[in-house]
Amino acid sequence: MFELYDEGFTLLYSFMAIEVKGRNLKEIRYAIQMGCCEFI
| Rounded Cα–Cα distance for residues 21 and 6 (Å) | 9
Domain extents in the chain:
1-40
The pLDDT of residue 13 is 92
Lowest-confidence region among 4-8, 19-23, 32-36:
4-8
How confident is the model over 10-24, as a mean pLDDT?
Answer: 91
Query: Does residue 16 register a pLDDT over 90?
Result: yes
Q: The dihedral of CA 26, 36, 3, 8: what is its sign?
A: negative
Distance of alpha carbon 9 from the chain centroid: 5
The pLDDT of residue 40 is 83
The pLDDT of residue 4 is 54
